[in-house]
Every structure is written in structure tokens, then in C-alpha cells.
């Protein structure tokens, strides 16, 4: 167990994919290609919230004024905020290069969407899935700093102040049960829109690289960012357990995670 540092850290969360499996009459949406194969939650960890955010804002202003990019249709979205799935290739390249220069770590937990498991463990409720993944992701990481501000990207009735407080409390209980030690960190929770906080946009970009690897078999972006991605835990890959923890020294590869 790592010791706590007497400094403030920022944990900035985002999710990728969806929790849907079945439609009406039992139609499997995953098999029909109408839903993602996985649902994942990740967070960006940094102690330099101000400097990191300033760099993103400066890049945003620079790209908004770029005459070469002005006529690209997707810039109407980019001019509001960065979003990996919507930004054009030129914007992605600039943003990824900025991310490589920043001081942060990224942690992610991936849930393969298995109908029997989701029904039994989560009663097929999205909020139950999200809370479980957050608590598992954080159970050994909420004691590391004396102060932690957790920022979550708003998500309807799933990501709210009360539901995320429940997830954080569950993570603290898991830590206490495992280590027989109280969590003494001061933890605050904030729910915000992507456009309101630059670091939410950074978290979106890094998580997108992992989602591309799992959903599309495209490892290009993940490989570019893998030194920043401290952990990807493929929590329901029972066939390969316990070899389901991917790090910069044991990076994601198609042969390791297939079939998804």
C-alpha cells in the first residue's frame, strides 16, 4: 500500500461506450451492431490542474482562429470544446501532441458486456454498472493524496452528486476492508459538462484511445499515448484472469484482449 502525499490532486472522469445489451423483445443490440461491446470508465490524475487547463485553453483559442481549419464542418463543434470522436484529424493531432507534453496519469476499467453477468450483478441498470466500476477503479487510489477533487462528466440520471458519492463511499469501504485502515483524505465531488472544464476534454481524448482499441481493433492512438496510461483493467475478461491488467510495460495488444 502506497503512502499518502500531503498535496492536492485532481481526478477527472469520463466514460465511453454504453451499458445497453437488449432492446424490446430480447433483441441483442451488440450482435446487431447497435450497441458497444464494452462500457468503460477512466480518470485522468494530475496535480497541475491550472497549468494543464491553461495549455488546453490556449490551444483551443489558437485552433479557433486557424484559417486553414475554419471551413471544416466539425469545427462548429470543436469551437465549443474538444471531443475526440467529433474533432477533425488536424485537431486530433494537435491535441494528442499537447497531451504527450503534460504531466498526468490515466487509469481505466473496462467492462465486457455479458448479458448474464449484467443481469445478475447490476439488474441491467446503467447506474449500478457505473457506480461499481468507479468504486473498483478507486478502491486503492483514494488515500494517495491529502486532498482529492473528483470531477465527473454529467450523464443524465447516472452521474449525479448522490450516485457518485455512493460510488466513492463504496471505494472507501473496500479500501478499509482490505487494509484495515481509515481513509483520511479530504474528497470533494463535482459534476460538470465537458465544455465547462478543459481536463474533462483531456480525459475524453485518452479514454477514446482505449475505446478504439477495444471496439475497432485500432491501436494507433493508444500506442501513441500508452506511456501516460498507467492501467487498463479488463475486469470481466474471465478467460484471461488474472492477466487482465495492462500497463505501459504490458500494453494492450489485439492478441491479448481478443475476442472482445
Model confidence at 72, pLDDT cuts 50, 70, 90, reads: very high
C-beta neighbour count of 195 within 10 angstroms: 12
- Look at residue 67 in the predicted model and tell me its pLDDT: 97
**Which three cell numbers mark 177?**
476492508
Could you tell me how far CA 85 lies from the centroid of its own chain?
A: 14
Q: Is pLDDT of 97 > 90? A: yes
CA 212 to chain centre: 13
- The answer to whether the beta carbons of residues 123 and 115 sit under 8 Å apart is no
Q: What is the pLDDT of residues 153-183, one digit of tens each?
A: 988 899 999 999 999 999 999 999 999 999 9
Bridge partners, 187 (sequence order)? 148
User: Which residues does 33 contact at the CB level (< 8 Å), separation at least 6?
Assistant: none
Q: pLDDT of 198-237, one tens digit each?
A: 999 999 999 999 999 999 999 999 999 999 999 999 999 9
- What's the longest Cα–Cα distance across the chain? 59
Q: Tell me the whole-structure pTM to 2 decimals.
A: 0.96
d(CA 88, CA 213) in angstroms, rounded, equals: 19
Average pLDDT over every residue of 16-37: 92
User: 101-140, pLDDT tens digit by residue?
Assistant: 999 999 999 999 999 999 999 999 999 999 999 999 999 9
Please check the confidence at residue 1 and state whether its pLDDT lies above 80.
Answer: no
Segment 175-185, tens digit of pLDDT: 999 999 999 99
Average pLDDT, the chain: 96
Does the pLDDT value for residue 13 go beyond 90? yes
Tens-digit pLDDT profile for residues 241-256: 999 999 999 999 999 9
Residue 185 has, within 13 A of its CA and on its CB side, a CA count of 32
Q: Helices 161-179 and 126-138: crossing angle, nearest 10°? A: 40
Amino acid 2: pLDDT? 81
CB within 8 A of 232, min separation 6: which ones? 108, 109, 110, 210, 245, 246, 247, 252
Q: Considering the chain, what percentage of its residues have pLDDT values greater than 70?
A: 100
Q: Are 58 and 178 in contact (CB under 8 A)?
A: no
Amino acid at each position: 500500500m502506497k503512502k499518502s502525499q500531503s498535496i492536492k490532486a485532481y481526478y477527472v472522469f469520463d466514460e465511453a461506450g454504453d451499458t445497453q445489451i437488449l432492446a424490446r423483445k430480447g433483441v441483442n443490440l451488440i450482435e446487431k451492431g447497435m450497441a458497444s461491446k464494452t462500457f468503460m470508465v477512466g480518470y485522468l490524475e494530475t496535480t497541475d490542474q491550472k497549468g494543464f487547463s491553461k495549455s488546453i485553453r490556449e490551444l483551443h483559442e489558437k485552433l479557433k482562429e486557424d484559417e486553414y481549419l475554419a471551413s471544416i464542418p466539425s469545427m462548429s463543434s470543436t469551437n465549443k470544446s474538444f471531443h475526440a470522436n467529433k474533432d477533425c484529424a488536424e485537431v486530433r493531432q494537435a491535441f494528442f501532441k499537447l497531451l504527450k507534453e503534460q504531466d498526468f496519469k490515466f487509469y481505466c476499467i473496462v467492462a465486457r458486456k455479458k448479458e448474464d453477468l449484467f443481469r445478475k450483478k447490476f439488474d441491467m441498470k446503467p447506474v449500478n454498472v457505473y457506480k461499481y466500476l468507479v468504486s473498483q477503479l478507486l478502491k486503492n487510489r483514494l488515500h494517495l493524496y491529502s486532498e482529492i477533487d473528483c470531477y465527473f462528466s454529467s450523464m443524465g440520471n447516472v452521474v449525479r452528486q448522490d450516485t457518485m458519492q455512493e460510488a466513492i463511499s463504496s471505494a472507501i469501504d473496500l479500501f478499509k476492508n482490505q487494509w484495515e485502515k481509515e481513509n483520511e483524505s479530504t474528497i470533494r465531488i463535482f459534476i460538470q459538462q465537458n465544455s465547462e472544464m478543459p481536463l474533462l476534454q483531456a480525459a475524453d481524448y485518452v479514454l477514446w484511445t482505449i475505446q478504439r482499441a477495444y471496439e475497432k481493433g485500432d491501436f494507433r492512438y493508444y500506442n501513441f499515448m500508452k506511456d501516460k496510461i498507467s492501467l487498463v483493467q479488463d475486469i470481466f475478461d474471465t478467460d484471461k484472469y488474472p492477466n487482465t491488467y495492462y500497463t505501459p510495460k504490458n500494453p494492450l495488444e489485439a492478441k491479448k484482449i481478443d475476442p472482445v
